[in-house]
């Protein structure tokens, strides 16, 4: 497939494909005139790259994940990223619950709502971010 066909089928611009090739994430198999040629399997590689990005991996991390080939992804790295995502979800859920409480709190003002005050103090001291990082480092219960 030439680069235009890969771009059309993947929904990515040719510039992104060239960038991914430059970063070593995908590889062309030759050229037809000035156009790069790719194997059809590049579409699977691009889908894996998109999945990695959706999970929050950087392109460099994705490249490292696939260094052993698509069939040998580092499971510890995947588990660590899952833990990081879980910690972010817990932090966001706590913030959501605090904000929902503040929205319906019977206190005369937000400044008088103890739950909202705790949330503000935690955010101000960076405790929310530290909790998320600390939770991500905890071993997962199996």
What pLDDT is recorded for position 8? 96
DSSP helix/strand/coil, 37: strand
What pLDDT is recorded for position 74? 80
What pLDDT is recorded for position 27? 92
> d(Cα 40, Cα 139) in Å, to the nearest integer?
39
What pLDDT is recorded for position 7? 96
Residue carrying structure tokens 């889908």: 47
CB neighbour burial string for 65-97, b if at least 16 within 10 angstroms, e if fewer: bbeeeeeeeeeeeeeebebbeebeeebeeeeee
From the centroid of its chain, how far is CA 93? 18
Q: Which parts of the chain register pLDDT below 50?
A: 132-133, 135-142
What pLDDT is recorded for position 140? 41
Nearest 5°: CA angle at 54, between 124 and 10? 150
What pLDDT is recorded for position 131? 55
């Amino acid at each position: 497939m030439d680069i235009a066909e890969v771009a059309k089928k993947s929904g990515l611009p040719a510039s992104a494909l060239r960038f991914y090739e430059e970063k070593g994430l995908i590889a062309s198999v030759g050229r037809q005139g000035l156009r790069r040629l790719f194997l059809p399997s590049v579409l699977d590689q691009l889908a894996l790259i998109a999945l990695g990005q959706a999970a929050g991996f950087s392109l460099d991390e994705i490249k490292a994940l696939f260094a052993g080939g698509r069939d040998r992804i580092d499971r510890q790295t995947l588990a660590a990223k899952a833990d990081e995502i879980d910690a972010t979800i817990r932090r966001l859920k706590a913030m959501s619950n605090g904000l929902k409480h503040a929205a319906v709190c019977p206190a005369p003002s937000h400044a008088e709502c103890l739950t909202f005050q705790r949330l503000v103090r935690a955010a101000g001291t960076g405790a929310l971010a530290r909790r998320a990082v600390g939770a991500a480092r905890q071993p997962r219960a199996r």
